[in-house]
């Protein structure tokens, strides 16, 4: 398994360890449940802010509809009413010597993507391929994927599945987490696919798109065609403050169709829209350009000047080998991170489409989705660290 850490203190893929009871410095004091610390409050005592509450007997003999530790989860949905960080909506935190997940929820970040079918016909398999393997009950308290569906970039239904694939390899490019990664394409989502797979349909675009590149004044992008998207509704863990994922965008528009109407796009639309963004796309360069052939993050290619613009291509063309994009360009692996509100439902739509016509395609690999207990000051996309 090839794993690259994309964010600090991510949720662990390893089994958690049980919290040590009554350890020194924990901020909790165990008291006799027959005594009270507040003149009749039921035998709970909190020492120190944010530390939750502790009792001798946990999850037995109490009111199942009462939230004893004040974390928003009643006793029936909370396996530890002594700690606000432990409940059904939380996920394990690596490296802190404790478990923050209720017993009714998985205690490991399971990666179950080794045997997924390449066709990706089940959208939940698409979620698993990027590292989201846990489903959530729409009416329950736990975190996970609430719903998944294949759609076109504008959210309408998708019938043509050629642009969807779950891959174990894409040329020399390997998954960043687990044994598989998701591929979505305006053409065919397969290794060494033909340069043109014209699927013959047009569609709308996400709100705010197409968005013209400031680097290409006077250019108007053509009608969106042959697009595909994975739309996920996800319930955020109750202890998460941000999330991240990795993507790698390949395009055959380089080097001939720079600053033209044939500008293929890849966007990641997030709802609710993060603060400070004019639309929901969270995958963009330092100039807020969405990912496309006109984006400054295009770094895997052969350097040259095209349409009056110099492309330094610092990563060279080597990782195009065996992909079907030899002689074209890619971004290399990029990590996008964004802040998120704990315990809320979010909707993410990963979308790609051709513009102007169905010739010359683009493909994006997506992998390594993870939540983090650390906050993100802003939404950003940067080259992933190389191990």
What are 145-162's pLDDT values in tens digits?
999 999 999 999 999 999
Whether 241 and 129 map to the same domain: the answer is yes
Comparing C-alpha atoms, which of 292, 280, 272, 282 is closest to residue 352?
292
Average pLDDT over residues 217-233: 94
Contact 246, 333 (CB under 8 A): yes
Q: Which helix (H) or strand (E) holds 124?
A: helix 123-129
Last residue of a domain, one of 86, 109, 132: 109
Evaluate if residue 6 carries a pLDDT over 90.
no
Last residue of a domain, one of 46, 81, 109: 109
Please give the residue that has the higher pLDDT: either 330 or 89: 330
Percentage of the chain modeled with pLDDT above 90:
56
Evaluate if residue 114 carries a pLDDT over 60.
yes
Whether 157 and 265 map to the same domain: the answer is yes
Contact 13, 111 (CB under 8 A): yes
Average pLDDT over residues 133-144: 92
Average pLDDT over residues 260-287: 94
pLDDT of residue 377: 86
pLDDT of residue 78: 58
Whether 168 and 316 map to the same domain: the answer is yes
Per-residue pLDDT band for 135 (boundaries 50, 70, 90) equals: very high
Average pLDDT over residues 320-331: 95
Global pTM reads 0.76
Evaluate if residue 28 carries a pLDDT over 90.
no
Whether 157 and 212 map to the same domain: the answer is yes
pLDDT of residue 115: 77
Give domain status of residue 253, yes or no.
Answer: yes
Whether 210 and 269 map to the same domain: the answer is yes
Give domain status of residue 160, yes or no.
Answer: yes
Range(s) of the domain holding residue 64:
9-109
Whether 183 and 326 map to the same domain: the answer is yes
Give domain status of residue 1, yes or no.
Answer: no
Whether 181 and 44 map to the same domain: the answer is no
- Number of Cα atoms under 13 Å in the Cβ half of residue 12: 17
Per-residue pLDDT band for 42 (boundaries 50, 70, 90) equals: very low
pLDDT of residue 89: 57
Last residue of a domain, one of 60, 85, 109: 109
Whether 282 and 192 map to the same domain: the answer is yes
Q: How many CB atoms lie within 10 A of CB 308?
A: 7
Residue 122, both tokens: 């089940």
Whether 150 and 220 map to the same domain: the answer is yes
Residue 236, both tokens: 């955020």
Residue-averaged pLDDT of the chain: 79
Average pLDDT over residues 247-276: 94
Cis peptide before 276 (omega within 30 of 0): no
Per-residue pLDDT band for 380 (boundaries 50, 70, 90) equals: very high
Count: domains in the chain: 2
């Amino acid at each position: 398994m090839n794993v690259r850490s994309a964010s600090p203190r991510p949720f662990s893929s390893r089994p958690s360890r049980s919290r040590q009871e009554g350890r020194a410095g924990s901020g909790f004091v165990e008291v006799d449940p027959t005594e009270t610390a507040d003149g009749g409050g039921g035998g709970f005592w909190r020492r120190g802010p944010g530390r939750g509450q502790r009792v001798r007997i946990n999850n037995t003999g109490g009111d199942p509809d009462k939230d004893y530790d004040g974390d928003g989860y009643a006793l029936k949905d909370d396996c530890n009413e002594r700690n606000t960080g432990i409940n059904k909506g939380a996920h394990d935190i690596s490296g802190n010597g404790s478990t923050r997940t209720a017993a009714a929820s998985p205690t490991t970040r399971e990666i179950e993507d080794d045997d997924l079918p390449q066709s990706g016909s089940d959208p939940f398999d698409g979620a698993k391929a990027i590292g989201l393997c846990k489903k959530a009950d729409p009416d329950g308290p736990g975190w996970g994927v609430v719903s998944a569906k294949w759609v076109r970039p504008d959210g309408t239904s998708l019938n043509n599945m050629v642009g969807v694939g779950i891959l174990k390899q894409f040329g020399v490019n390997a998954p960043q987490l687990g044994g598989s990664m998701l591929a979505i394409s305006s053409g065919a989502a397969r290794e060494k696919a033909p340069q043109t797979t014209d699927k013959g349909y047009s569609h709308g675009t996400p709100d705010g798109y197409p968005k013209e590149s400031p680097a290409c004044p006077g250019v108007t992008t053509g009608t969106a065609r042959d697009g595909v998207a994975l739309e996920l509704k996800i319930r955020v863990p109750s202890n998460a403050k941000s999330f991240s994922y990795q993507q790698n965008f390949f395009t055959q528009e380089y080097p001939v169709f720079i600053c033209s109407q044939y500008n293929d796009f890849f966007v990641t639309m997030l709802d609710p829209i993060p603060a400070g963004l004019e639309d929901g796309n969270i995958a963009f360069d330092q100039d807020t350009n969405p990912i496309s052939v006109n984006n400054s993050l295009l770094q895997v290619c052969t350097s040259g000047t095209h349409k009056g613009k110099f492309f330094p291509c610092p990563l060279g063309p080597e990782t195009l080998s065996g992909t079907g994009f030899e002689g074209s360009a890619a971004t290399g692996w990029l990590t996008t991170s964004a802040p998120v509100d704990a315990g809320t439902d979010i909707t993410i739509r990963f979308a790609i489409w051709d513009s102007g016509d169905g010739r010359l395609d683009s493909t994006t690999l997506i992998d390594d989705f993870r939540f983090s207990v650390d906050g993100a000051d802003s939404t950003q996309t940067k080259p992933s660290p190389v191990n």
